[in-house]
Structure 1
Amino acid sequence: MEPDHQEVVARLSEARYLARCGCNGGTYHLYWDAATFRLTPEGLRFLAQVLEDLLERGGEGVVWLGTVDLRFRQEEGEALLRLLHTGLLPRRSRPGLWPRYVN
């Protein structure tokens, strides 16, 4: 179960999803099975670019996130890339207060 201060922005399954919170100006939390990775928006875009580059070469791959490696088959890599792209789509802003007309 995800913490209350996070908004899930993309989900593949109960154990694989991407959430965003207001921590440090908008941190993403990538939940992938038993691991959780905290990434800045720039870090998430960089991860998506690295995945795209690896998948273009085909086959399986390994991505290192700090000292942890994330191993995936072609299908898993494509699913992770879709998850990242979905989570990075611009969110419609919700106004806190609606403007009102005053005479």
Structure 2
Amino acid sequence: MEPDHTRVVARLSETRYLSRCACNGGTYHLHWDAATFRLTPEGLLFLAQVLKDLLARGGGGVVWLGAVGLRFQEAEGQDLLRLLQQGLVLPDALSMGYFRHLN
């Protein structure tokens, strides 16, 4: 159950959804099965870019959020990317740029 100060902005299922609260400049809460990850708008945009790059290679993969690895098959990765893109609300200053990751 979501706290009163959050709002679900995108949902795949009861256990996989993205919510946003006004705390810390609009923190996002990514709920994925039994785990919940707190991400800034910049962090969420970075995660979406990493997923997009990994999925472009084909197949599944693992994305590390701190010390926790989120393993996904290709279809799950596509679902997660769609969830992030649907729920992401960016200030104009952030939407102008993008983030890249380095391996």
User: How high is the TM-score relative to the length of structure 1?
Assistant: 0.85
Structural RMSD (CA): 0.9
Q: Which amino acid aligns with 1:80?
A: L
- The number of residues matched between the two structures is 90
* 1:65-94 residue CA offsets vs partner (Å, 9 max, x unmatched): 00000000000000000000000146xxxx
Q: Which amino acid aligns with 1:32?
A: W
* 1:2-54 residue CA offsets vs partner (Å, 9 max, x unmatched): 11110000000000000000111110000000000000000000000000000
**Structure with larger Rg:** 1
Runs of 4 or more, structure 1, over 4 Å off, are: none
For 1:86, the equivalent position in structure 2 comes to 86
For 1:95, the equivalent position in structure 2 comes to none
Overall identity of the aligned pairs, in %: 77
For 1:3, the equivalent position in structure 2 comes to 3
Q: Which amino acid aligns with 1:57?
A: R
- Taking the TM superposition and a 5 Å limit, the aligned residue runs for 1:17-28 are 17-28=17-28
For 1:98, the equivalent position in structure 2 comes to none
